Each structure stands twice: as structure tokens, then as C-alpha cells.
Structure 1
């Protein structure tokens, strides 16, 4: 059995790496992709993980599969596209270390992901299936996600999702008309404050998470950046501050939050309704700490923290109390 099987992207992030002698910007190749980052962190928390994805049959694609193996993610269901290249994203940062993504290709291997790439035998071995919100961007991958959700629910298991909305992939109208109904089918939904506003029509954390839970979401977790997080589920809700680490790169910080949250839920067999609010609060504390530790490092997959690093953060780093 696998603790988590993820469905989504493994990509190359080209991140700033200084300047050449001529003053031209240099970019460094980093492995990334939200579900890949998340699964790498979950593996570091002791969970058994696998990824269902597609990359190009090119040097970048083979490099990424090697990285996935290196961070203990099962790659039996990572396919190679003969016709489309590996997805490459250009990443830039603002003065606060927050990311901006730019798409470099009109088409990539991800747009070729289809129901034929779903490994239902592998999905049947999962205790939880995690969906990358980016996979809602293309018609074939959208249909694959619909089928995956139906299959998992037929087996009586839960589906989680990190929305990870990127305007470079689909616009707000598409988000609200096409993506929203699918997101409301998720059992565990992690999103940013901006995404909550987009998909619920309100920026109020209490009202927004109520809308999600009334729609059928079992656990809604909203990350607030430097202001921490807010969550809601059947047995309660909570607003937590995060930890005051020195932020250098927020890439994979949200993915780490998701991984540590899911690792905490895995200790209770993902039986969300049986978890007391005190325990859920502690799970979210660890998730905040994980995200904070990750934000203090550069990179993505290789920046995700270990159990020991998260423990040390919670013991030694003060809370950042921003409202």
C-alpha cells in the first residue's frame, strides 16, 4: 500500500542564478512541480509515495525521473511523451522572495496527459490520492482527473487537492466555470487566500471555508503566507500564526505545508471526522513549521524539510504574529 499517490506534474523550474560576466541573467535548472515537491516532503516524513505523471522523452524528462527516484517517489506510473517536451517554467522572485511563474512553451507533455495514463491498479493501492490543481488546465487531463476522483470515491477513499491556480495556465473565468465544480468534489482542499476568494466569492476566511465545507469538503485549509493559516472541518476551525524564519525562497513552501498536513492526517488513517480539534490544531502547527523551514532554503524538491528540521523549528523559532 502507498500512503499517498499523487496525480500531477513534474517539471523543470528555471530559477534566477545571478548574472554572467556580460551582465546577462543566468538561470539554474531545478526539479519541481507542486505534487512532486509535496510527495518528496511526504516521503521525508516517512510516508510511502508514488506519482502518476508524464514528462517528455528528452533530457529534462529523464533527469526529472532520476530526481523522483532519488527522493524516494515511486515512478512506475510516470510516462514519457514521444511527441511533446517536458514542461519548463521560468521562475522570478519579487523583493519578498515571492514567486512569479512564466510559461515558456505553447504545448508540453502535461497537455498530453489523458485517462489512458491513469494507473488504476496503483490508485487502488493508495490510502489517499492527491490531485494537482494544475491538471485541470487541459481537456484531456481534466477528464483524467474527473475519472480519477470518481474511481477513488467508488473505492471509499479520500481525494486531496492543492489548488495551485496559475493564471498562465487558465484564467479566472475558466477557474470559476470549469475548475470550481471539480474542486468542490475534493475531500481535503488546500488553497491560498487568493484562491479561496476566487473559488468562493469572499475573502472572509470564516465564510469562505464554511462555503467549502457546506459544499462537501471535509477539511479546508487556507494558507496565508507570512500570516500563517486558517482551517475548518466538522469538529472545529482555527487560525494559526507561522514561524519567523528568514524567507529566501517561497517555492515549495505551500507544497511542504500540504505534505506535513497530510502526514499528520495519515497518523489517523485519514479519518478526518474522528480527529479532535486539539489534534488538528497541532497538525496545522507542524504544517506551518514545515512551510516556514522550506521558505528559508532555495530550491524546491531538494529544499523540503525533514521531521527533525520541523521539530527544531517548533522548538527554537518564535512565532511571527501578523494579523
Structure 2
């Protein structure tokens, strides 16, 4: 089974006890949950039985301790996590509406995850077959963006299968302005690309959807997955498109839904030992691809029915018990 390597931010989601617009006089409190999109994917894969490790940096503080402990508790290898006293572990205060949709207030920058550099990358980390997962939140600062794109270059040259989830958080970018060129550069390193419908609309700019998607496929992306909440998931690969209807559930907290989906999909690729060279052919078997996306949808549906991130991610037994 091909192992997963996730790189990027691990942070603490401070989840509000109160839904937006709720009419009560109780003081608002926040419960800490371990999170961060690439860290969530690492946990999602580990909970599905995939060997998984996380690369990144957290502060030498109590929240950094909390994240390392939680990652390890859920089966993720933490031996390559770096610690620093130069910045604190990032926090995200998360408020929810009645449908579980979130609003984020980030305490980042400064933050420890932004200080990771190529010198911290373990020697030979991509020497063996692996899946590397990345997100755009490690592009918001010029120095960490250079590190992220360099890691993607090294991994791609070594034949590693690269998964990218755009996972855009506009309020993490200076002046709330996403550097679309920088994000697109990362997307075009991917073999597997996951976008939400809203992210697609932002990133394509004035270009029509079909042209923009074809450019990504021409750049070497072998599969593009577009999610849109409860609407069908659309999967584009060379010359073909399929759609998959996700399960109908009542969302409580959508924090890790997309990450659970990605973890479920990557677990299917890992089980079949799919690599960068074989992903394109693997995607052409529609029945197999549809089954993989359906399982990923079930992972996402399970996660949004529970609060928090790591603890909301399903195991195999959880998926078997859904129906």
C-alpha cells in the first residue's frame, strides 16, 4: 500500500459553542480541536488504514504539543514535525451557522507553520513511492510559497503522485487577495486536483470553465474533482466526465468534510498502488473510478455530521456502519 505524506499547516480550530444568529444570552466559548487541512487529510488516511505521515512546523508551545499528540493518537507519523520558538502555533476561531457552514477568523501570520524551509525536509523523503498531498494555505506568504513549490518540484521529479486541494481561505492572504498565479502554479504540479465550485469560479477569472479545466489537464493533471456541497461531485479526466451524487445527511460542522473526501479518495489510490505514471489509465475504468468517488463522498458525509476535524474522520468500521 502506497504511503501518504501531507505537507503544510497543522493548526488548532477553536470551535464556537454557538451557532451564528442564535438567540441566547450565554457567553460564547470555544473548544479546541486539532485541525489544518493537510493535517486533516493525513489523519483521514491513517484512520482508513493508510500509512501516513505529516511534514510541517508547529510552535514549541502547548498548542503545538496538542497537535503532535493528536496526530500521533490518530495514527499519523509525527517524527518529521519540526518545532520552533520563533512563532506560535496557528489558531483558527470557527463560527458556524445553522447548516454547519463555517466562518474563520485566523490568528496567522505570524505562525510557526510559515517558517518551514527546504532545510527542514527529511533527506530522501521522496526516494520511495508515495502520495504527496498539498493545499494552497502554504502559499500565502512568499517564503513558505517558495518552499511549497520547491517541495512539489522535488516530489514530481522523483515520480511521486501529487494531490492538491485548493482549499482557498481568502482571509489568510494579504489584503484578502488571493495570488491566483501562485495558486495556479501549485495546481499545475498536481496529478490529482480537488476544487470546490466556488474555488473554480474564483481561479478561472475571465476564462470559461471548460478552457480553464483543459489547461490544467494539458499541464499534466490527470483527474480534477469538483465538489459543491450536497450537489453532485463532478470528475474530469482526459476526454471524459462523470458525476456522483453524495449521500444526503444533515451537516453539523463542515470543517473536515472536504479533507475526509480527499482522504477517502487517496486511500483508494493507495490500496491499488496507483502512482503518477498509472493514474491516467486507472481513471479510465469508469466503474472503478465511480466506486472510489462514492466511497470518498461517504467519508465526507460522515465527517460533516460530527464537530471538529480529526475525531470526525471515519474509520472503515464507521463507513460500514453508515448503511
Structure 2 unmatched ranges of 5 or more: none
Match of 1:139 in 2: 142
Match of 2:102 in 1: 99
Q: Give the secondary structure class of the aligned counterpart of 2:164.
A: strand
- Residue 25 of structure 1 and its aligned partner are, at CA, apart by 0.5
- Residue 24 of structure 1 and its aligned partner are, at CA, apart by 1.6
Match of 2:114 in 1: 111
**1:241 is the counterpart of 2:245:** yes
Match of 1:293 in 2: 302
Between the aligned partners of 1:203 and 1:238, the Cα distance in structure 2 is 22
Q: 1:89 to 1:109 in 2, by over 3 A?
A: same
Between the aligned partners of 1:237 and 1:11, the Cα distance in structure 2 is 35
| 8 Å Cα contact 2:170/2:177 also seen in 1 | no
Structure 1 unmatched ranges of 5 or more: 317-323
Q: 1:104 to 1:149 in 2, by over 3 A?
A: closer
What per-residue deviation string (whole Å, max 9, x for no partner) do you get for residues 221-257 of structure 1? Answer: 1111111311111363211111012211111010000
Q: 1:204 to 1:309 in 2, by over 3 A?
A: farther
Q: 1:235 to 1:261 in 2, by over 3 A?
A: farther
| Number of residue pairs aligned between Structure 1 and Structure 2 | 313
- Residue 206 of structure 1 and its aligned partner are, at CA, apart by 5.2
Q: CA RMSD in A?
A: 2.2
Between the aligned partners of 1:304 and 1:98, the Cα distance in structure 2 is 17
Q: Give the secondary structure class of the aligned counterpart of 1:243.
A: coil
| 8 Å Cα contact 2:2/2:270 also seen in 1 | no
- Residue 285 of structure 1 and its aligned partner are, at CA, apart by 0.6
What per-residue deviation string (whole Å, max 9, x for no partner) do you get for residues 32-81 of structure 1? Answer: 01111111111111100000010000011011101111011111111111
Q: 1:297 to 1:130 in 2, by over 3 A?
A: same
Runs of 4+ displaced beyond 4 Å: 202-208
What per-residue deviation string (whole Å, max 9, x for no partner) do you get for residues 192-239 of structure 1? Answer: 111112222379765553342133211111111111311111363211
| 8 Å Cα contact 1:16/1:28 also seen in 2 | yes
Between the aligned partners of 1:154 and 1:91, the Cα distance in structure 2 is 38
Aligned with residue 169 of structure 2, among 155, 166, 169: 166
Match of 1:218 in 2: 222
Match of 1:274 in 2: 281
Q: Give the secondary structure class of the aligned counterpart of 1:14.
A: strand
| 8 Å Cα contact 2:257/2:304 also seen in 1 | yes
Between the aligned partners of 1:208 and 1:239, the Cα distance in structure 2 is 19
What per-residue deviation string (whole Å, max 9, x for no partner) do you get for residues 103-135 of structure 1? Answer: 124411122122222224233345111112211
Match of 1:257 in 2: 261
Q: Give the secondary structure class of the aligned counterpart of 2:80.
A: strand
Q: 1:105 to 1:148 in 2, by over 3 A?
A: closer
Between the aligned partners of 1:158 and 1:133, the Cα distance in structure 2 is 17
Between the aligned partners of 1:203 and 1:96, the Cα distance in structure 2 is 32
- Residue 309 of structure 1 and its aligned partner are, at CA, apart by 2.2
What per-residue deviation string (whole Å, max 9, x for no partner) do you get for residues 89-114 of structure 1? Answer: 11111221111111124411122122
Point out which structure has higher relative CO (alpha carbons under 8 A, 6+ apart). 2
TM, length-normalised to structure 2: 0.90
**1:311 is the counterpart of 2:320:** yes
Q: 1:79 to 1:34 in 2, by over 3 A?
A: same
